[in-house]
């Protein structure tokens, strides 16, 4: 998608979010090469919520408001195993959700499953990289193509074509790059949250969970 790489570097250096900021940590040639190989190879086999279990972004992570993952006051969510808690004041966390395979449940307050909130399903797109978030009633509330999230039930055109380029340019709600979540496409949006591990290549279930938390879906209250 040659139309998209044009101003990424300049835009990223210009981004600022007041209160919680840090410089971009760069990307090595090896990481860029690995990402390109994965894109060419397509998605792995097996259940999508089990893909790449050894990648840090699929493990226990903290998600911070803005660009800084080192300030305790900036922590929004703590994902520890299947449990998702939210920081309500510095050092005080409340149970919010429990993730079980491809489903997101309200926490019963004791680490167990409460009411079903959402499910993630894999779409039939030929790329194998389109996933959708359904609420408890089966309505599609988010659509994800690779590391790009759209609100609602979005039909994704063939990857690499003009229509897909327009979709990425104009309709992305959130996107992932390295350890950060952007409002809109990463080359033309603000950093709204940062993890303490790289999440752009986490498995689809983890990326969709993060999108739901940011967007206020599945019972999440969204960003502060």
- pLDDT tens across 49-75, in order? 999 999 999 999 999 999 988 877 789
- Of residues 96 and 110, more confidently modeled: 96
Residue 213 near residue 84 (C-beta atoms within 8 A): yes
Please count the other Cβ atoms lying within 10 Å of the Cβ belonging to residue 125: 16
Which of these, 139, 143, 191, 190, lies nearest to 168 by C-alpha position?
A: 143
Distances (CA, A) of 114 to 90, 117, 221: 26, 9, 17
Q: What's the whole-number mean pLDDT along residues 99-121? A: 94
Q: Is the pTM of this model over 0.75?
A: yes
pLDDT at 103 over 90: yes
pLDDT at 124 over 70: yes
pLDDT at 219 over 60: yes
DSSP annotation of 154 reads: -
Q: What's the whole-number mean pLDDT along residues 175-187? A: 96
Residue 38: band (very low, low, confident or very high) from pLDDT cuts 50, 70, 90 = low
- Of residues 83 and 21, more confidently modeled: 83
Predicted local distance difference test score (pLDDT) of residue 146: 93
Cβ neighbours of residue 34 under 8 Å, at least 6 residues apart? none
Predicted local distance difference test score (pLDDT) of residue 71: 78
Please count the other Cβ atoms lying within 10 Å of the Cβ belonging to residue 178: 19
Predicted local distance difference test score (pLDDT) of residue 106: 96
Predicted local distance difference test score (pLDDT) of residue 160: 83
pLDDT at 191 over 80: yes
pLDDT at 197 over 70: yes
Return the residue matching tokens 């300049």.
Answer: 10
Compute the mean pLDDT over every residue in the chain, rounded to the nearest whole number: 84
- Taking the C-alpha atoms of residue 108 and residue 94, their distance in angstroms, rounded to an integer, is 11
Predicted local distance difference test score (pLDDT) of residue 39: 59
């Amino acid at each position: 998608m040659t139309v998209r790489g044009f101003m990424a570097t300049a835009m990223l250096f210009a981004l600022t979010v007041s209160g919680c900021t840090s410089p971009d940590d760069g990307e090595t040639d090896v990481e860029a090469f690995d990402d390109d190989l994965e894109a060419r190879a397509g998605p792995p086999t097996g259940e999508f919520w089990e893909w790449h279990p050894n990648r840090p972004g699929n493990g226990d992570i903290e998600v911070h408001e803005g660009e800084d993952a080192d300030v305790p006051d900036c922590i929004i969510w703590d994902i520890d195993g299947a449990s998702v808690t939210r920081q309500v004041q510095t050092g005080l966390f409340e149970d919010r959700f429990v993730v079980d395979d491809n489903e997101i449940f309200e926490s019963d307050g004791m680490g167990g499953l409460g009411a079903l909130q959402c499910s993630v399903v894999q779409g039939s797109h030929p790329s194998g990289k389109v996933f959708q978030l359904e609420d408890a009633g089966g309505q599609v509330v988010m659509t994800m193509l690779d590391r790009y999230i759209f609100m609602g039930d979005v039909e994704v055109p063939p990857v690499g074509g003009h229509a897909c380029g327009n979709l990425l340019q104009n309709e992305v709600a959130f996107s992932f790059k390295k350890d950060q979540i952007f409002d809109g496409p990463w080359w033309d949006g603000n950093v709204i949250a940062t993890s303490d591990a790289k999440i752009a290549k986490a498995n689809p279930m983890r990326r969709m969970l993060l999108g739901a938390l940011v967007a206020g879906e599945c019972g999440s209250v969204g960003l502060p």
